[in-house]
Amino acid sequence: MRGFLVVLMVMFAGHALAGGKASEICLKAAAHAYLKNSLEPIAEQDFSDLSPPSARVSYDPGNGAEYWSDCTFDGHLKLVQFCLNGACMAAGNKAFDKIVVLLARDGY
> What are 63-106's pLDDT values in tens digits?
999 999 999 999 999 999 999 999 999 999 999 999 999 999 99
User: 70: which strand partners?
Assistant: 56, 83
Overall pTM > 0.85 = no
Confidence band for 19, pLDDT divided at 50, 70 and 90: confident
Distances (CA, A) of 53 to 37, 45, 64, 66, 108: 24, 11, 30, 24, 14
Percent of the chain's residues with pLDDT above 70: 83
CA distance 83 to 96: 10
Has residue 8 got a pLDDT over 70?
no
CA distance 105 to 100: 9
SS3 content of the chain, % helix, strand, coil (to 5): 40, 30, 35
